[in-house]
Amino acid sequence: MSATQTQPNIKSRDQRFTNLQRTLVLIKPDAVQRGLVGQIVGRFEARGINLVGLKLVQLDAQKAAKLYEPHVGRPFYEGLVSYMTSGPIVALCLEGVDTITVVRKMMGATKPSEAEPGTIRGDFAQRVDFNIVHGSDAPESAARELPIFFSNEELVSHDPSYTFFL
């Protein structure tokens, strides 16, 4: 540290962050098959979002039905469940400031044709039925969806040193 630099004020994570949220992200079977896991996780890491849970999962129809319960009866529902159970997915629990909103913005619109370039769907997807990622859309959704994939013991709270600068 040079003579002109000052030591930043050390604050606890709770003092630094307001509206800390956790959200569920799923890297869907098409993205796993296409070898996009690293790039997608890397985007969240680069944004400084904290990874508190991570696992590879082969979803069964029961769990897929639980996740997509709000969509029962929609014309795409059966296809969605069959797609989501067609191969392994990667489940992430991400934590950060306003993370539910931030992650949804990073994902882009549901229909890839409407997703902006620079978003995950805007960069990697073409079809709404193979749209690469899932992210909880509201705090209530995150609270409902996270326990489908993670027990409390599987979520590791920690405070990486880099978050000091966020």
Residue count at the site for ligand DAT (CB under 6 A)? 9
Those residues whose C-beta lies under 8 Å from the C-beta of residue 57, and which sit 6 or more positions away, are 88, 89, 90, 91, 149
Contact code string over 88-127 relative to Mg ion, x by CB under 5 A: ----------------------------------------
**Nearest residue (CB) to Mg ion, 45 versus 137:** 137
Those residues whose C-beta lies under 8 Å from the C-beta of residue 73, and which sit 6 or more positions away, are none
Give Dmax over CA atoms of the chain in angstroms.
66
User: Residue 129 Cβ, how far from Mg ion at the closest point, in Å?
Assistant: 14
CA 141-145-12 angle, 5° bins: 80
Report what 162 binds from Mg ion, ligand DAT, none; CB cut-off 5-8 Å by kind. none
CA proximity to 59, closest of 38, 32, 41, 37: 32
Active site residue 134: yes
**Nearest residue (CB) to ligand DAT, 11 versus 127:** 127
- Distance, CA of 154 to CA of 166 (rounded, Å): 25
Contact code string over 121-140 relative to ligand DAT, x by CB under 6 A: -------xx-x--x--x---
Please give the residue ranges that form the binding site for Mg ion (CB under 5 A). 137
Please give the residue ranges that form the binding site for ligand DAT (CB under 6 A). 71, 76, 80, 110, 128-129, 131, 134, 137
